[in-house]
Amino acid sequence: MELFLSDDEILVLINEQKQMTFTPEELFRNMKEKRGHKESEHFIPRTDDSSFVIKLRLSSENPLDFSVILGYKPPKSTKIFRLRRYDGKSHEHRNKLENEDPF
């Protein structure tokens, strides 16, 4: 099942205050080593059994090659909807829907 959210729903989720259950330093601790990069994933629970997700990916060789994703996981779902993505200056991503630079 594909998750679709309206622009207004996305904006509400982005603007919602998030109560982190971890420190910013913990985002970078215990990152899992993958081929050529490290990554971590942290969940921020919401009262309706959904959660926000912060995903980090950091290149092992290039500090400008990173991404940080703010996601949303609906209740009773394993799929994560990407609300925001921030990338380092190592390469660019395009908005697949509108075929333009995202920001």
Domain segments of the chain as ranges? 33-93
Q: Please state, for a pLDDT cut of 90, what percent of the chain lies above it.
A: 49
What is the average per-residue pLDDT within 12-37?
A: 89
Query: Which range has the worst mean pLDDT, 26-35, 47-56, 91-100?
Result: 91-100
Measured distance CA(70)–CA(95) in Å, rounded: 16
Name the more confident of 72 and 59: 72
pLDDT band at residue 47, thresholds of 50, 70 and 90?
Answer: very high
Nearest 5°: phi and psi at 30? 55, 35
CA distances from 54 to 1, 79, 99 (A): 22, 14, 25
